[in-house]
Amino acid sequence: MMKHFFLFFALILATTTIFSETVDEYLNIGERYFSEGRFHEARTAVESAIRLNPNYARAYFHLGVICYHLNDGILALDYLSRAIDLDNSLAEAYAWRAVIYEETMNDHAKALRDHDMAVYLEPGNDRHLINRAYFLYTVLEDFTQALTGYNRAIEINPLNYENFQQRGVCYAYQGLYEQALNDFNEAINLNSKDVKNFTSRGATLFRMERHEEAMEDFDTAVRLDSNNFLGYFDRGFANILLGRYNEAVLDFTEVIRINPRYRNAYFNRSVAYKYLASLSTNNQVQALHYLQKAAEDEATVAMLDRQN
């Protein structure tokens, strides 16, 4: 009898282990699909994990994040809330739900509450601190508390270039360009391959009227990643301000090649064309050509605005 009991107990343990491994395997598959940008396949895999274990909090968390990336904020909110109901220690779930409360529900009070909870649960996680800081200054315009959060994040992880990068943006947002420049310099020291480090520093240098240094940073951004439109766009905008309209047209054309639905590129290219037309008073045919190009870009802007 005792032998049969132990055999039965061993069978239960083995079945539970296989069951657990199967659930985790589905979750791992979902995470892999997610990392590859295959959100629909990721959703199917994670839903399979939930069918096997309807009380798996992390699965609901991942499903919520996936639904957010599938532009279904309401369903994402439901899944993240379910994850928190099952395990109220999931700091990541609070952090993501804060984003959805802000972007989808426009509920700033609940967003701040969830950011606060994420920081409370994992006070040593610099990511939660900078997410909260970004929300504080971009949405609530509380720069003092935002900078306190960034400072704490840098204390926790002084080797994370994004902490300096984001604090630099916060400084620049306030017009504190020297402080911003120092942070962007530090971010570049930590990671000289990140495009945003150079576009951010370039924009700051440009506002400080250090134009040639700014253009060097925009050029570097383009060299680092020729398929990242940020470098081309910022350089194009700077070229307009410097009166280099042909160069601006080329830069905005590259932006459109990379991202054909980026309406600001069409708008700014139309501005550059109009400046070129105004400079072509001695060549009426050329002036009309530029004006026609500007009109075509303005029509595209109107179309994209209607679709959005």
Which class is 226-308 in CATH? mainly alpha
Burial of 110 (0-12, 13-18, 19+ CB in 10 A): middle
Can you tell me the distance from the alpha carbon of 162 to that of 184, in angstroms, rounded to the nearest whole number? 10
Q: Which tens digits make up the pLDDT trace of 66-86?
A: 999 999 999 999 999 999 999
Topology match between the domains 18-105 and 226-308: yes
Can you tell me the distance from the alpha carbon of 39 to that of 157, in angstroms, rounded to the nearest whole number? 31
Q: Which CATH number fits domain 18-105: 3.20.20.70, 3.90.1170.50, 3.10.290.10, 1.25.40.10?
A: 1.25.40.10
Average pLDDT along the chain:
92
Give first-to-last CA distance, the chain, whole Å. 71
Please tell me the pTM assigned to this model.
0.83
CB 121 within 8 A of CB 142: no
Of 18-27, 103-112, 273-282, give the lowest mean pLDDT range. 18-27
Q: Which tens digits make up the pLDDT trace of 27-61?
A: 999 999 999 999 999 999 999 999 999 999 999 99
**Given pLDDT bands bounded at 50, 70 and 90, which one contains residue 150?**
very high
Q: Token pair for residue 67? A: 């639904």
How many residues belong to the chain?
308
Res 17: pLDDT: 41
List the domain boundaries for the chain. 18-105, 226-308
Q: Which tens digits make up the pLDDT trace of 215-235?
A: 999 999 999 999 989 899 999
Res 21: pLDDT: 60
Can you tell me the distance from the alpha carbon of 23 to that of 306, in angstroms, rounded to the nearest whole number? 44
